[in-house]
Structure 1
Amino acid sequence: MTLRRRRTALYMPASNARAIAKARGLACDVVILDLEDAVAPDEKARARQQVVDEIGAGGFGTRELVVRINALDTPWGADDAAAVRAIGADAVLVPKMASVSGLAAVRHALREDGPPIWAMIETCAGVLALPALAAAAGEMRLAALVAGTNDLAKEMRCRPGADRMPLVPALAGLVTAARAAGIVALDGVCNALDAPDRFAAECAQGVALGFDGKTLIHPAQIDAAHAAFGPSAEDLAWARAVIAAFAAPGNADKGAIRLDGQMVERLHLAEAEAVVAEV
């Protein structure tokens, strides 16, 4: 089975045909065609039809293709859901997810056989609902949790600096919920386009917190995020050493072995195999 990576998920405004065309040639793992924040109210209908047309035209290669719709309680949400539920998108990203009942409403709007749901956690209520959302993930075909750090910071009235300290508990909670449900966790965007050091620091923090990847707002952020969320040379060396150690004839049936002065268990073997699969 080929491992599907989500190191980079790039938002592209669904109303911008040139941006969508460019996305077909970018190195990002995921393209998110955005019908929500990136599209003005009087452009919503045109952008929706453009998404239908562009996905129908294809050409996105191996990139995972996700559509961010407007929330169902907006004037555009129901039409968005009806338009995208059967056009071949890999998933539908829903903003401001805050309850299991809201998740169920989206599942109903997309139909049982419609695409998986990716849920944005960008409100205080959404953070508090994380355990319940994780518990409902299987039934509702919830496949990813995505941090909406800008809106969350606004609602919390906090002022996250470069270390994003006020948001760390919520981010860690999101990752914990995703791991409990066995689904993907994506970090929020970095708005500082002209501050590569800050972007690199956010990526490193996201890796440390356990995120699978990061949502992006500009193609220039792709390479740095790939480097951060991909395995380092040290990670690969460790993983290959663990795999080789367990493959040794005397270790085939052991649950734990000693390697370079450390105790290594079979759970580390599974982790090592996942690291090597990312290459």
Structure 2
Amino acid sequence: MATTVRPRRSVLYMPGSNARALEKGRSLPADGLILDLEDAVAPDAKAAARDTIAQALAAGGYGGRELIIRVNGLNTPWGYDDLRMAAASGADAVLLPKVESADSVRQAEAVLRTAGAPASQTIWCMMETPLGVLNAKEIAGASPAVGALVLGTSDLAKDLHAAHTAQRLPMITSLGLCLLAARAYGLAVLDGVHLDLNDDEGFAASCRQGRELGFDGKTLIHPKTIAACNAAFAPDADEIAHAHRIIAAHAEAAASGKGVVLVDGKLVENLHVENARRLVALAEAIAAL
């Protein structure tokens, strides 16, 4: 799937069984909403939740927010029906849980396309098991339909017997492998949730670390964290101004037959210009929202 500059700073999980929550999602400043049929919905409520999501998406009103349906796995009683509903829902993407192989991606894609899913509907993959992380490269390249990798750090920490530490050192290898796989195939990649809603400082630190590592944004479990997440993953005014200076200076140098130029005392080459253009395009896309 070709890479596009689309803001994914904040992507909020919302329980698919809660019609009031889905209604509230129409006014929240999140870049994306994951309408959840898996962890957030009890077994006896899954069929009703499927209908609730379908009705909410049919009603529309979500503006430019990216809409993703997290389905149940195909090894559950609900997975196939979830995918068939998602195919006709108008959602931008389908999020597959606990992906561990390229074959599982292709199997889900076959169900979606048979059910009439448009070519524009992408597949996002939850990376939340050790085997899934070890197979990140194969998963990312499983199909042109794959659009993003999403870290499921809570399940991953459980399986690794790892602690949730401030600097997330037990998770660094897993985060890095998924980042490498996503970037190698031109995919978006989203960091996992921060579980302690009373830990504002820890949440901010997690966002800073995620952006420094290279994540596009973070998945969230509560609307109150959206604003801080949006700010953390967006280029600030100084970054945007610096990017414009880099683009202008390099263009002037190129017109004079020069390949490199100094900007604010630092050497600028083509790679810096590419990143500057990406930041400017991201800022413009955020403003358009």
Q: How far did residue 224 of structure 1 move?
A: 0.6
Aligned to 2:127: 121
Q: How far did residue 244 of structure 1 move?
A: 1.6
Aligned to 1:96: 98
Deviations 1:155-204 (A, max 9, x none): 11111211111001100111111000001000000011011000000000
Kept in 2, the 8 Å contact 1:251–1:257? The answer is no
Equivalent residue in structure 1 for 2:158, among 154, 158, 177 = 154
Deviations 1:183-228 (A, max 9, x none): 1000000011011000000000100110000000001111111111
Q: Given the two structures, how large is their TM-score scaled by the length of structure 1?
A: 0.95
Kept in 2, the 8 Å contact 1:246–1:252? The answer is no
1:192 aligns with 2:196: yes
Structure 2 unaligned runs (5+)? Answer: 284-289
Structure 1 unaligned runs (5+)? Answer: none
Q: Give 3-state SS (helix, strand or coil) of 1:120's partner.
A: strand
1:1-20 paired onto structure 2 within 5 Å: 3-20=5-22
1:167 aligns with 2:171: yes
Q: Name the CA shift for 1:78/1:242 in 2 (closer, same or farther; >3 Å).
A: same
CA distance in 1, matches of 2:111, 2:257: 49
Aligned to 1:79: 81
Q: How far did residue 252 of structure 1 move?
A: 5.8
Q: Give 3-state SS (helix, strand or coil) of 1:214's partner.
A: strand
Q: Given the two structures, how large is their TM-score scaled by the length of structure 2?
A: 0.92
1:17-56 paired onto structure 2 within 5 Å: 17-56=19-58
Q: Give 3-state SS (helix, strand or coil) of 2:27's partner.
A: coil
RMSD over aligned Cα atoms: 1.6
Q: Give 3-state SS (helix, strand or coil) of 1:136's partner.
A: coil
Q: Looking at both structures, which has the greater relative contact order when contacts are Cα pairs under 8 Å and sequence separation is at least 6?
A: 2
CA distance in 1, matches of 2:254, 2:40: 58
Deviations 1:56-110 (A, max 9, x none): 1101000011100001101111110111112210000010000011111111111
Q: Give 3-state SS (helix, strand or coil) of 1:119's partner.
A: strand
Matched to 1:271, the amino acid is N
Kept in 2, the 8 Å contact 1:44–1:76? The answer is yes
Aligned to 1:105: 107
Q: How far did residue 275 of structure 1 move?
A: 0.9
CA distance in 1, matches of 2:254, 2:221: 50
Of stretches 127-136 and 220-229 in structure 1, the one that deviates more from structure 2 is 127-136
Deviations 1:18-58 (A, max 9, x none): 10000000100001100000000110000001111111110
Q: How far did residue 154 of structure 1 move?
A: 0.5
Kept in 1, the 8 Å contact 2:106–2:143? The answer is no
1:209 aligns with 2:213: yes
CA distance in 2, matches of 1:132, 1:185: 15
Matched to 2:221, the amino acid is I
Aligned to 1:256: 260
Aligned to 1:246: 250
Kept in 2, the 8 Å contact 1:90–1:116? The answer is yes
Q: Name the CA shift for 1:249/1:210 in 2 (closer, same or farther; >3 Å).
A: closer
Kept in 1, the 8 Å contact 2:250–2:268? The answer is no
Matched to 1:34, the amino acid is D
CA distance in 2, matches of 1:119, 1:100: 10
Q: How far did residue 136 of structure 1 move?
A: 2.2
Matched to 1:6, the amino acid is R
CA distance in 2, matches of 1:41, 1:181: 35
CA distance in 2, matches of 1:216, 1:36: 15
1:134 aligns with 2:140: yes
1:60 aligns with 2:62: yes
Matched to 1:152, the amino acid is L
Matched to 1:54, the amino acid is A
Kept in 1, the 8 Å contact 2:106–2:142? The answer is no
Kept in 1, the 8 Å contact 2:253–2:260? The answer is no
- What is the count of residue pairs matched by the alignment? 277
